[in-house]
Structure 1
């Protein structure tokens, strides 16, 4: 009965016994005898076969089916080996119990980290605490809290099973504290579970360095107490105040390790222990192509990474910008937009927050409301005002 069950599972793989044996590094003759019922397979071989079947099905095997196969294997051990089978069964039970205990311990640690990061919001608390120490009035802190809370509420849940992208705009006028608001959004996003943060800071080295410095001041530890929390919730910076993004060997710094290989990175047991990455890059074609290359080398794991992209200098067609540009500037911006779109294409869980001075609506009949593959093309999914005003009905046009 065990051999018949294993043969049925093996047929689902749709491959020859010789190919399968080479794939799992097993002797072809032994595999053939296992499947014909001439030899009792060890349990580790059965587990390998079950994992391959789960990969073919693209879903975990049901508990009832797995328990039935385990019971058949135990019965076969008893029939073939008699009392000596008891030692093998106890050994298997001990290994299984150790695996379950290790998994349970890891999940409990991850859940504890999750509660502390999300409920206490360490990065957000440390950020606002530093602002209060520098003399920010309570009214300004409350306004910052509202803007960042509303923005984060419009983004995807980083632990959601379904992956989707969102594009939004924070309307912030000149000298309205765009970098501070952006730092607050990033702090909340890191607490919520976003693990890759890419900041586009403009086209000048000076602006990029200033943005990097201000974000580090907002997101990193400022005293001994914060340093202890920083050790528990580290932040890996892939750029510095002195250096823009540089190509990494094999793109390994963009690889995210998982505690549980069978679960996606976006699941809480894997997501919260993962170390976040922060990049502040200049909007330059050469720099962006280096980042694009390393993201490609990182591989499929990026499909599971909740990513936040903050763009301080956008130029999409649906937002009004001050001033015009020459033909050369337009061509350069088109190249930048193309590379940025390729970067986003590698991140199915990317959320884009753009900062703009002013938002206008195009009411012409030719205006389209269809979404594009690029988060920079088409109308935003949401708009949050950094300085909301109460509506005035009277002489002001409601439209």
Structure 2
């Protein structure tokens, strides 16, 4: 057999372009049948490795793998990989970028086809490296012969400039002979003064443009691509369009969405890939419209990178086990007293003219912490950029008012430090020592610095810090393109809340509210990587905002978990559109208007109560009576499962007819802060399901879950020990517990012990995995499950262990009125496969749902101001911000 090594690279390159079968046939005549077969086998192994590696993707059935990864002659990717190495990035991080970008490319169309129109979506995390991924994808596309790469980079000049600078450094500057820049840092797209179309050749130079999603810019691109010479060219050129922040402006806008679609229509051979950390808007695109941007070819979930600080890391996650690290997050949140808000933002739109901020209380603490933490980084030898964020109001006049008081405070503090003022130094020392104790550096494998070591660097830090107003009207914008470290306190709103990276962000004061999940999440510029100073970030917010972010962490985790689960179940992007469109939580909060009729499906979902009226004895008593009637119905009409004797007091009844669940939901009351568990919606969904298919939800499993608290008598079921669930808020009208259920609760009734359920789920039990076990169990696959969990009336919080770290969040006794136990419930709706398809979307119920988060008049006014500014950017032909 000939030397196989001599043929390997050229075989792989040909197979990548034309398919492995064509390559095998071609090379059989060149190196022999055995040699060609061996090379084909090696190539197929590479395909499998790329196509099945993490991150997994949701894709249509039957898509044939074609991309085995980059080759040794792929100049753009190999240059980029060397750039990362020279930049000091760890090799495992570079390998992750390589692997993840391979998966994205592998799910696009083979680029040698005469016509293709691919649509995909990559879901990352806020400030987590999405730009790195699409930079690698662009490099590999250029190596594959793509002739034009268009990057749509948000709606602000600042983000476009930042993205352009990065792509210039990592793509065009590394291979000047390969790339043809069509934009630069100073100017958005204009028709090239030279014959760019002559330079754009298949497998020749690759044009690169980084443009704003602005009507004027997009019209210029459309006009250029629509010329006769370019239309002819485009019949033979592959084009990659990358939509950064794909949920912003690209979906449902009057001007920009149609322009993007019209530009794509000019290209017979194009791939469109959206990148976003908040896919809530993208999944509301009509998937039936072939010309819109729905990601019909793939949806890919980038894994959370190691060392990433996301919502759950900082704010905790409500569905995690009580007192676990995931439940509470790091102790980095500092609450702002609402009585101090008048010093941070105007009380109304009318009050803007008379508003003047004051550097006191929490703002003073946040500024001092910025100086201390940045000095600590310098003490560690980290001569890098450092930033502080001040985000309090949308209006630019408010931003202007912050400059003078912040600058005055900086000068005054520097003067006192230079004078070694004892009171000032003692105040800074106390803050440093307190904060260091609350988030010990040792938690991250580092050593806590002594205050004197930190203080030695403070004069230089305070002296070097600039106050920067970054908004649509300011000229002095954030610019980290300097050799020397930049220390900035950035005041702004919209321009700081999308895509733009605040380098070395270490202190944030944030009192701006938002109505939509995606808007709120994108405002969290503190998410990201904090290598070398992991324990130092701090965020000052109101208690209301902290809870909104914690809830958001839950919603985000659910959506990502769903995408992973859909991939495991071989769902298609069309299946996913149905599932996410009918997600109860999203239907209530997504941006769909003031109130709309939404189709809600609970299949495949679990729901649990978290809010109670602990101070309302009538409310508690009615729920307890409803539960006793349910208990009697379970005994009289259900089947006792004797294996539940192994569950430490938990009692399970099976095959309870749906009519008794409906009767229970007719009288059981749910707190108004849980509208996705509105009993009327649940009853209607169950009735609609029964009318559609008499077997789905016609029978139920009821689990009376036992805990370790006071005994509650449930009539014929008998005594059940209640569960101890302390409160997170000392509010008798809105008593919120952290979480009601344990990870294995929704698996009870399958004849398995809790330990067996953990083992069945691979040691990682969760509500969705418990439902998956129910789906796989023929006897339970179409039965609903109802958990009944009495809550101990007192539920004293567990004391902190001697020497243990203090709780991040205060806990309070539940303190149910008149000692009446509250009744928490959980409902699970399995989603079995039936007739080759899943039940998703087959059973829906319609209801009017409110889509705004709770708010006040100030929030509405702020929102109106933002809507005016954003609308001007989206629909105005002017490029000025």
Q: TM-score range by the shorter chain?
A: 0.5 to 0.7
CA deviation after TM superposition for structure 1 residue 360, in Å? 6.0
CA deviation after TM superposition for structure 1 residue 338, in Å? 0.8
CA separation of 1:361 and 1:293: change in aligned 2, threshold 3 A: closer
Distance 1:246 1:363 in 2: 32
Equivalent position of 1:148 in the other structure:
101
User: Which of the residues 131, 134, 151 maps onto 1:179?
Assistant: 131
Contact kept in structure 1, 2:200 and 2:206, CA below 8 Å: no
Distance 1:205 1:339 in 2: 19
Instruction: After superposition, give the CA deviation of every residue in 1:83-129 in whole Å (9 maximum; x if it has no partner).
Output: xxxxxxxxxxxxxxxxxxxxxxxxxxxxxxxxxx9542111111111
Distance 2:214 2:249 in 1: 20
Distance 2:200 2:300 in 1: 34
Distance 1:291 1:352 in 2: 16
Equivalent position of 2:196 in the other structure:
253
Distance 1:213 1:372 in 2: 34
**Residue aligned with 2:768, SS:** coil
Equivalent position of 2:256 in the other structure:
336
TM-score, reference length from structure 1: 0.55
User: Which of the residues 260, 266, 285 maps onto 1:346?
Assistant: 266
Instruction: After superposition, give the CA deviation of every residue in 1:5-32 in whole Å (9 maximum; x if it has no partner).
Output: xxxxxxxxxxxxxxxxxxxxxxxxxxxx
Higher helix share: 1
Instruction: After superposition, give the CA deviation of every residue in 1:175-225 in whole Å (9 maximum; x if it has no partner).
Output: 111111111110111111111100000111111011001001111345xxx
Equivalent position of 2:235 in the other structure:
303
Equivalent position of 1:355 in the other structure:
275
Equivalent position of 1:107 in the other structure:
none
Equivalent position of 1:236 in the other structure:
180
CA deviation after TM superposition for structure 1 residue 383, in Å? 1.6
Q: Which runs of 5+ in 2 are unaligned?
A: 1-69, 305-560, 566-760, 773-881
Instruction: After superposition, give the CA deviation of every residue in 1:56-93 in whole Å (9 maximum; x if it has no partner).
Output: xxxxxxxxxxxxxxxxxxxxxxxxxxxxxxxxxxxxxx
Bigger radius of gyration: 2
**Residue aligned with 1:384, SS:** strand
CA separation of 1:317 and 1:127: change in aligned 2, threshold 3 A: closer
Once superposed, what is the RMSD of the aligned Cα atoms? 3.0
Equivalent position of 2:144 in the other structure:
192
Contact kept in structure 1, 2:124 and 2:303, CA below 8 Å: yes
Instruction: After superposition, give the CA deviation of every residue in 1:318-344 in whole Å (9 maximum; x if it has no partner).
Output: 99xxxxxxxxxx7xx320111111100
Contact kept in structure 2, 1:171 and 1:357, CA below 8 Å: yes
1:179-328 equivalent positions in 2, closer than 5 A: 179-222=131-174, 230=175, 233-248=177-192, 252-255=195-198, 271-272=202-203, 274-297=204-227, 298-315=230-247
Q: Which runs of 5+ in 1 are unaligned?
A: 1-116, 223-229, 259-270, 320-329
CA deviation after TM superposition for structure 1 residue 387, in Å? 1.1
**Residue aligned with 1:310, SS:** strand
CA deviation after TM superposition for structure 1 residue 312, in Å? 0.4
Equivalent position of 2:575 in the other structure:
none
Contact kept in structure 1, 2:148 and 2:200, CA below 8 Å: no
Distance 1:281 1:181 in 2: 18
Distance 1:178 1:363 in 2: 19
Contact kept in structure 2, 1:171 and 1:355, CA below 8 Å: yes
Distance 1:355 1:118 in 2: 25
Equivalent position of 1:372 in the other structure:
290
User: Which of the residues 86, 90, 108 maps onto 1:137?
Assistant: 90
TM-score, reference length from structure 2: 0.26
CA deviation after TM superposition for structure 1 residue 299, in Å? 2.4
**Residue aligned with 2:226, SS:** helix
CA deviation after TM superposition for structure 1 residue 235, in Å? 0.9
Contact kept in structure 1, 2:117 and 2:270, CA below 8 Å: yes
User: Which of the residues 766, 777, 788 maps onto 1:395?
Assistant: 766
Distance 1:386 1:253 in 2: 35
Contact kept in structure 1, 2:118 and 2:271, CA below 8 Å: yes
Higher strand share: 2
CA deviation after TM superposition for structure 1 residue 363, in Å? 10
Distance 2:181 2:283 in 1: 43
Q: How many residues align?
A: 244
User: Which of the residues 287, 290, 299 maps onto 1:383?
Assistant: 299
**Residue aligned with 2:164, SS:** helix
CA separation of 1:191 and 1:118: change in aligned 2, threshold 3 A: farther
1:91-130 equivalent positions in 2, closer than 5 A: 118-130=71-83
